[in-house]
Structure 1
Amino acid sequence: MRYKKIVLSIIASVLGLGLLSGCGGYSHDFNSSEEAQKYVLAKLKDKYNEEFTIKEVKKYKEEKIGLNWISVEVSSKENSSQTSTVYARNTGLFKDGYHVYYYSDEIEELATPLFQDKPFIRNYQLEVQGHTTTTEWNGKESVEEYLKKREYEIETSIYLNDGKTDEEYAEEISHIMQEIVESNLVFNISVYTNDDNIIFYSLPEQHSQPDVEVILEKMEDVRSLQETKEDYKEWKKQNQNNAKD
């Protein structure tokens, strides 16, 4: 019996060391923001075999039930433009979106032709972003496998030529949306007539209705929302001026 206890004690010690050394010496059982940040950086290094830095601690919280969690924005030391949101709990749950950089170039190549050679598109911007997930990607999977999992989205800003009617814009947007639906890629779409004037947006689950009438309704919703924001800004400005008086 005593021998069994000794053996079990040794096994427990080895497992404990394994948990600590598996991520650069930091356990997922963190009890402070500093410990959590060290764990995140060690876990990312272990997962992607590169160094990272913390750009921003979005939130760290210790729940009453003993659950501690942290949400941070990180960037690659090698390429600071490659960033990701990371969410970690002291239960071992770890989610990040850095996996997208294995496939972002290929995804952008697939998306770009949808917005080229269209005279009514003045400009466009694409940014491929990864969803924060627990999936273990290593870059050896094919881009087809990655696309099928749909753990990414393409943030897309489209700038149309100014000076057209709502109906004309709706026709142009309908044409764009039809091709997006057929591509089966995951897009978040925002459409502008200039740098500040957004006239339409569509989330991935809304792309299945590229009908002109539906688009016109959505454009009206966007316009109403913009007017509400402008009214609020004006109200806030008036109140600030009144407070000064």
Structure 2
Amino acid sequence: MSTTFLWAPPAIVSLPVQGRSERLPVNRVFCVGRNYHAHAVEMGKPVDKRVERPFYFTKSPQAVVDSGATVAYPPETADFHHEMELVLVVGKAGFRIAADQAHEHIYGYACGLDMTRRDLQLVARDKGRPWDLGKDFEQSAVCSAVVPMPGVVIERGEIALAVNGETRQRSDVDKLIWNIREILADLSLFYHLQPGDLIYTGTPEGVGAVRPGDRITGHVAGVGEVALSVGPADAAVGGVAA
């Protein structure tokens, strides 16, 4: 007997894949917090790898939006920030993965933007509350086409972002506090990783606010580019966007 639903289930979230006609179905979205020293310092929370472990937050798959989109300035914030990231795409299921076997679980990479309602995030952080309102909202996980690189562990390469052509973030993936192997090994202690899981690996220093009309562009060397335009805020009348 086929299953019937009260209303249509949400569409499968997917990303384009370079060189393929098929799209990649997105399973989950994990994000590594404060994974570049200079960014951790600018956020007022330096990281000492000798005594700390990585920490994570998640975004709903419904937050994923293709590169090149125009998104509305989000509601209930006055401090909408960009964060440029290398995105790791899991291609093989794994649990308690050994770091020296992490490459076996890599399908490829993409360029991503972890868009953030910074004012809401900082209020939550300072009160010891979850970051969801600051991080997990519609169209906040921008992602480029996935570049298949099975088994490749990226260890270096420029990562940079510009707003309206002005560079704001520039660093190198070799400055990750926890590298690709360490991230996969650690995250897989908590979750049974699955094909289609996306891991946003962290952002370098230089995060900052954007406004309606701004154009964001970014790249990771050897992976590609990502772009986003910020539109006006949604106007709502009686709870319905006008």
The answer to whether the superposition gives a TM-score over 0.5 is no
Larger Rg: 1
- Give the structure with the larger helix fraction: 1
Task: Provide the TM-score with structure 2 as the length reference.
Answer: 0.28
